[in-house]
Structure 1
């Protein structure tokens, strides 16, 4: 079984060189040394927010620029960064990521609902089964939202950097493998999530976002159809 966000091409970013393009943002585009070193979390959030804006009309304010070229997307990354500023250990907890995304959206008048799954290291008692990772990723992709993925140690998955956020845009669900396609450093790569989960000694997390139904309730309450004030 294969699943993907509906329009992955929306994450294609044009470079000033006509013959070059990127898939999602790259943290090296940030303007300061620290943000370039530690900015994988806000870069991942920038990917998610841009995609939601471009694919969901009600979420248009989440991306404030007229194109998806590198210059405009870099400005978007700088807009997102103050809400997801990495500390000395980066964004090493999923709530730092989800709270930052929600705060950025709220500043633009959008209420997002956060969906998160904490992933303990492999020696943790009561650790979720791999099938729970698969079901969470399915839910995110079916809702048409890229899924943020944090790992603190790459285990035996050689295509993954440790202490790093990447953006899941597609997945292949097999009985003995869970292959995901991610945006990482402006490139599209594949990872074996099952291999990572079974071999990492440290924790990680997954996160995606959806429109918060409460936002519609507030609009309805403020604009009653019968013309009466509440």
Structure 2
């Protein structure tokens, strides 16, 4: 896919999601909009919902489940007016890493680049934003 084709696709997806004045701040609205967009393109996609408590370990397991299913994981945090560089922002998680000292990192696609982020910091931004952020992947 060329860069121009990808940008056209992303513009169409943006139009389908219809973020409001402050963006799309609810994971379930995002899920429904992506499923509707896919259905209109004759593609079957279903968002995977977890009923596990929103904890560091449970969300890490959810991310790993999505990545094992070969699905990048959308992530939203609604942290605002903080020193978190990625505040109030959707990103796509493409890798999760945890070392033997329990340091946890995610690789994300954001603003057209791949970035590495401390997962504990990102989790706090999801958990303690203006509204609780979250994660979503599709099968």
Fold shared, TM-score > 0.5 on shorter chain:
yes
Give the structure 1 partner of residue 128 of structure 2: 201
Aligned-pair CA distance for 1:137: 0.4
The aligned counterpart of 1:172 is 97
What is the deviation of 1:194?
A: 1.4
Distance 2:88 2:74 in 1: 13
Residue 34 (structure 2) pairs with residue 101 (structure 1): yes
Contact 1:94-1:206 at 8 Å conserved across structures:
yes
- The equivalences for 1:176-187 within 5 A come to 176-187=102-113
3-state DSSP of counterpart to 1:112: coil
> What is aligned with 2:62?
136
The Cα RMSD (Å) is: 2.4
Tell me how far 1:193 sits from its aligned partner.
1.5
Change (3 A) 1:157 1:115: farther
Q: Which of these two proteins has the greater Rg computed from alpha carbons?
A: 1
Task: Kindly state the Cα deviation for residue 198 of structure 1 after the two structures are TM-superposed.
Answer: 4.0
Deviation at 1:155, TM superposition (A): 9.1
Correspondence list, 1:44-83, <5 A: 67=1, 69-83=2-16
- Indicate if the aligned counterparts of 1:117 and 1:207 stay in contact, CA closer than 8 A: no
The Cα offsets for residues 62-112 of structure 1, whole Å up to 9 and x where unpaired, read as: xxxxx2x22111111122122111112210000111111100110111221
State the number of aligned residues.
Answer: 135
With over 3 angstroms needed to count, the CA separation of the structure-2 counterparts of 1:166 and 1:75, relative to structure 1, is same
TM-score (norm 1): 0.53
Q: 1:187 to 1:154 in 2, by over 3 A?
A: farther
Match of 1:29 in 2: none
Instruction: Please state how far the C-alpha of 1:156 moved relative to its aligned partner.
Output: 7.4
Distance 1:81 1:114, change over 3 A: same
SS at match of 1:110: coil
Which sections of structure 1, spanning at least 5 residues, go unmatched? 1-66, 119-126, 211-230
